A and B are shown apart, each in its own frame.
Chain A
Amino acid sequence: MKKVFLFLGKGGVGKTTLAGSLAAYLSKYLGRVFVASIDPAHNLFDFFGITSKLGPVKISNNLIVEEIDINSHLKKFLKETSLKVKKNYHYLQMINLENMFDVLKYSPGMEEYAMFSALEELIDIWKSKVDYIIIDTPPTGLMLKIFFLPKATLLWIDKLKKLRKRILERRAQLVHIKGKEEFGDLVYEQEKDGVFKELNIQEKKAKKLLNIFSNPQICKKILIVNYDELSIMEGIKIINELASINVPIDLVVFNKKGMTDSITYDKKVENILDKLKSFKKVEVPFYKDHITPRNKMIEIAEMFAKELL
């Protein structure tokens, strides 16, 4: 894998169109491409005219498209966990936990976890099979949570590991003083402790994703805005939020230029635009006709692709 491209921006600015166009361009000229949408309200398949709804779809020798089913990721995670709980908790052997766990998918934070996990999994699967991975992301609010999740997870894991170490140390002291027979199967070694092992696994996953996000050589973040106050304001919010976790934006694409007949920028919009002047900027015009023919997609991508390679 040479690069991962993440398309970010307010809903409706054209993330899917530009992500799909870049995929068509790269697969024609530069190598194998996997493009996926992790937006729960995705329409990447519609963009490529795909009617099938399951799994990755091969469009050409060099291009694979997938709409990630977040719900199935969540279901798989909860099913696996309920089986593990059943296996490890002696008094829960006879109870059907799956139905109870099913409710957890509505818990706060589960949706962004499912996306975080889907993102981590798809990068892991496709990094050895393709040259470029392109991700069409959900709108700002959700995507920012996904960016922050690895960081928040790492902070918590650090604290939990310290506390766990103290627990295991105390257990080891007791076992050494009073003998193993007093405590049955009490675990006191880090290598054998399920909690510690799981914390290590989750730490590794979070670090891997955070490293990819913050590596400007591998991961290119493309911010899409339109010439309207709200999408630009939201774009600036994305830039500021990501800067706080050292994830820089590589390119700002002003999409749908000329969509309204006469664009009149008031002073306010001009001031906002001023805040984006330090970023690499590209403009893509508004297309009145259908943009789904492949040559049209490539024409669009040619306007910004070179800035990213």
Chain B
Amino acid sequence: MFKKIKEFFLLFSKGFRDVSTRAIEAELKELENVFALIVTGALTGMPAPPSYLGIKLLPYMEREIKVMICRSEALDDIFADWFDVLDFG
């Protein structure tokens, strides 16, 4: 009985934490996306750091590049994403 109550509260608390961190997670993804876009800017026609600096950072940017690709694939839904985070609709 106590175990079930404890599980219920844990789930409840996890739900709260998930909701409260959604905005931070969305901001983090956006920041990682921007970081990858800046570093690889020369490829997308944006002002970019010296090419060698981008190449030097490349080995450590697997996560950011994955985020950037996901974000670019979901560009049509970018407003939907943010409305979801802000709980509109």
B49 surroundings in chain A (CB, below 8 A): 152-153, 156-157, 160
Q: Is B35 a contact of A164 with CB atoms below 8 Å?
A: yes
Nearest A residue (CB) for B26: A170
B58 surroundings in chain A (CB, below 8 A): 81, 85
B61 surroundings in chain A (CB, below 8 A): 195
CA A199 – CA B35 in complex, angstroms?
Answer: 13
Task: Please name 12 pairs of A and B residues whose Cβ atoms are closer than 8 Å in the assembled complex, sorted by A.
Answer: A81-B56, A109-B50, A110-B51, A117-B52, A153-B53, A156-B53, A163-B31, A163-B38, A174-B25, A174-B28, A178-B21, A198-B56
Is the C-beta of B39 less than 8 angstroms from some C-beta in chain A? yes
- Ranked nearest first, the 9 interchain pairs of A and B with the lowest CB-CB distance are A194-B60, A84-B59, A156-B49, A113-B52, A170-B28, A109-B51, A195-B60, A85-B59, A167-B31
Q: Is B50 a contact of A113 with CB atoms below 8 Å?
A: yes
B25 surroundings in chain A (CB, below 8 A): 174
B34 surroundings in chain A (CB, below 8 A): 163
CA A177 – CA B4 in complex, angstroms?
Answer: 23
Q: Is B31 a contact of A109 with CB atoms below 8 Å?
A: no
As a 0/1 sequence over residues 141 to 171 of chain A, the CB contacts with chain B under 8 angstroms (1 = contact) are 0000000010011001101100110110011
Q: Is B27 a contact of A170 with CB atoms below 8 Å?
A: yes
Q: Chain B: residues with CB nearer than 8 A to chain A?
A: 17-18, 20-21, 24-25, 27-28, 31-32, 34-35, 38-39, 42, 49-53, 55-64
Q: Is A202 a contact of B35 with CB atoms below 8 Å?
A: no
CA A96 – CA B21 in complex, angstroms?
Answer: 40
CA A117 – CA B51 in complex, angstroms?
Answer: 13
CA A107 – CA B55 in complex, angstroms?
Answer: 11
Q: Is A177 a contact of B17 with CB atoms below 8 Å?
A: yes
A276 to chain B, nearest CB (A): 32
B49 to chain A, nearest CB (A): 4
B62 surroundings in chain A (CB, below 8 A): 88-90
B64 surroundings in chain A (CB, below 8 A): 195
A167-B32, A186-B63, A198-B57 known, 19 other contacts, Cβ within 8 Å: A77-B52, A84-B59, A109-B51, A110-B52, A113-B50, A152-B50, A153-B53, A157-B49, A163-B38, A167-B35, A170-B24, A170-B27, A173-B21, A177-B17, A178-B18, A178-B21, A195-B35, A195-B57, A199-B57
B55 surroundings in chain A (CB, below 8 A): 77-78, 81, 104
The A/B interface has a contact count, at CB < 8 Å, of 91
Is the C-beta of A108 less than 8 angstroms from some C-beta in chain B? yes
A178 surroundings in chain B (CB, below 8 A): 17-18, 21
CA A186 – CA B29 in complex, angstroms?
Answer: 13
Within 8 A of B (CB), among A194-216: 194-195, 198-199, 202
Is the C-beta of A87 less than 8 angstroms from some C-beta in chain B? yes
Q: Is B35 a contact of A160 with CB atoms below 8 Å?
A: yes
From A108, A110, A170, B31 is in contact (CB under 8 Å) with A170
As a 0/1 sequence over residues 64 to 85 of chain A, the CB contacts with chain B under 8 angstroms (1 = contact) are 0000000000000110010011
Q: Is B51 a contact of A107 with CB atoms below 8 Å?
A: yes
Q: Is B50 a contact of A156 with CB atoms below 8 Å?
A: yes
Q: Is A87 a contact of B52 with CB atoms below 8 Å?
A: no
B19 to chain A, nearest CB (A): 11
Q: Is A202 a contact of B56 with CB atoms below 8 Å?
A: yes
CA A65 – CA B28 in complex, angstroms?
Answer: 52
From A153, A160, A198, B38 is in contact (CB under 8 Å) with A160
